[in-house]
Amino acid sequence: MTKCHLISSALFLSLFITCNSCTQTPKNPEKDNTTQKLEVATPTFNADSAYWYTKKQVDFGPRVNNSKAHIACGDWMIAFLKQYADTVYIQNCELKGYDGKILISRNIIASFNINNPQRIALAAHWDTRPWADQDTVRKKEPIDGANDGASGVGVLLEIARILQANEVGTGIDIILLDAEDYGQPDDVAPPNEDSYCLGTQYWCKNPHVKGYKAEFGILLDMVGAPNATFTKEGVSARYASPYLDYVWNIANEQGFGQYFRNDVTAGIIDDHKYINEILGIPMIDIIHRTSDTPSGFGAYWHTHQDNMSMVDKKTLKAVGQTLLYTIYRFDANKGI
Ligand code: AHN
Ligand code: ZN
């Protein structure tokens, strides 16, 4: 990487001090509440909005670094987030791809309640893979990345809208990571496992706020496929198992067990790995994993099949609503 700088645009710094007693309604007030967890009214996740935000990104064209579509989509997301977040940080950097190419990149961080040290980090990558290297046709052409990239961002943009309308006291950071998917194709030797997640690796070494910490984090990656299965991924289980159980239990309790599975699968290199290992923030990955393919990713992965047909509102709803329960319950209980 060559040159980097940080622009913090604290335009409308509006701090919300939440009155928890106004929002908490104990499940059963008769019961001994020393062990009882507080239940809260949780807002409804609108999957139509999340779907629309996903399609909006795809409509820019593949968000490949250094392309016009990438710049335009980044500008749109920043303008969107400025409407809802307290502070939006834009981290501009130039990152070096495995092939030496300079990738003009932007990590975008939308923060709520910036003064609360108790924080949750929510992340997804927003760039698109420049090649369909897992496809049999048009392998050199970029993919739509409707599921791989856009779906996770679509869910997080809807969360941003909801957070502004439904106050929480917990600090929340929505982190849109760039240059995740420029990883070296399998047919290039020798393997270079750190060639993915370049934006994240940069952010971990240069967080948008000095000494950045969060109690835990959740990464979304390929969260839109019809009938997707989110397994307990190995790196998440290794570094963040209490949070993995917390989120999976909520999902199952809310009727999303068809998506959130209890089997543990092999660890993968994804943005959360660096955040766990470099920053020491326990972060889980909600990612579609399957035993149906050799890669363990859906058959659409890094192919031209990764288009809007790979985004199902029911899957977005399962993920987005689970995130909202996670956030609002954590907020009421000041912890998991
Ligand atoms: C590897 O293929 C090594 N990791 C997958 C990370 C990824 C790419 N997620 C989405 N696209
Ligand atoms: Zn990918």
pLDDT per residue, tens digit, the chain (336 aa), is 334 454 444 433 333 333 333 334 444 444 444 456 777 899 999 999 999 999 999 999 999 999 999 999 999 999 999 999 999 999 999 999 999 999 999 999 999 999 999 999 999 999 999 999 999 999 999 999 999 999 999 999 999 999 999 999 999 999 999 999 999 999 999 999 999 999 999 999 999 999 999 999 999 999 999 999 999 999 999 999 999 999 999 999 999 999 999 999 999 999 999 999 999 999 999 999 999 999 999 999 999 999 999 999 999 999 999 999 999 999 999 999
Residue 13 placed within a domain = no
- CATH number of the domain that residue 274 is part of: 3.40.630.10
Residue 129 placed within a domain = yes
Residue 133 placed within a domain = yes
Contact 194, 182 (CB under 8 A): no
The angle formed by the CA atoms of residues 329, 319 and 289, to the nearest 5 degrees, is 125
Residue 23 placed within a domain = no
Q: Spell out which residues line ligand 1, taking CB within 6 angstroms.
A: 148, 181, 183, 196, 221, 268-270
Range of the domain at 231: 47-333
Predicted pLDDT at 35: 54
- Say which residue the tokens 């198992």 belong to: 241
Compute CA 218 distance to the chain's CA centroid, rounded to the nearest angstrom: 6
Q: Which residue has a Cα nearest atom 8 of ligand 1? A: 181
Q: Which residue has a Cα nearest atom 1 of ligand 1? A: 269
Residue 287 placed within a domain = yes
Q: Which ligand is nearest to the CA of 306?
A: 2
Compute CA 259 distance to the chain's CA centroid, rounded to the nearest angstrom: 17
Ligand 1, pocket-test mutation among 287, 297, 302, 310, most atoms within 8 A of CB: 297
Contact 235, 276 (CB under 8 A): yes
The residues placing their C-beta within 5 Å of ligand 2, an ion, are 129, 148, 181
Q: Which residue has a Cα nearest atom 3 of ligand 1? A: 269
Contact 67, 75 (CB under 8 A): no
Ligand 1 atom at shortest distance from the alpha carbon of 197: 6
What's the CA gap between 155 and 46, in Å, rounded? 9
Check the CA dihedral 314-282-186-150 and report its sign: positive
Contact 133, 38 (CB under 8 A): no
Encode pLDDT of 170-224 as tens digits. Answer: 999 999 999 999 999 999 999 999 999 999 999 999 999 999 999 999 999 999 9
- Who contacts 210 (Cβ-Cβ below 8 Å, separation ≥6)? none
Ligand 1 atom at shortest distance from the alpha carbon of 295: 2
The Å distance, Cα 134 to ligand 1 centre, comes to 12
Encode pLDDT of 236-262 as tens digits. Answer: 999 999 999 999 999 999 999 999 999
Number of domains the chain is built from? 1
Type of residue numbered 159: I
Residue 56 placed within a domain = yes
The Å distance, Cα 61 to ligand 2 centre, comes to 16
Q: Which residue has a Cα nearest atom 4 of ligand 1? A: 269
What's the CA gap between 103 and 97, in Å, rounded? 7
- Among residues 78, 80, 81, the alpha carbon closest in space to that of 92 is found at 78
Residue 131 placed within a domain = yes
Check the CA dihedral 267-270-276-281 and report its sign: negative
Q: Which ligand is nearest to the CA of 233?
A: 1
Residue 12 placed within a domain = no
Token pair, residue 295, equals 């890669």
Strand, helix or coil for residue 206: coil
- Who contacts 153 (Cβ-Cβ below 8 Å, separation ≥6)? 53, 54, 57, 77, 124, 125, 126, 176
What's the CA gap between 55 and 306, in Å, rounded? 12
| Phi, then psi, of 273 in degrees rounded to 5 | -60, -45
Predicted pLDDT at 40: 82
Contact 4, 94 (CB under 8 A): yes
Token pair, residue 114, equals 């910036």
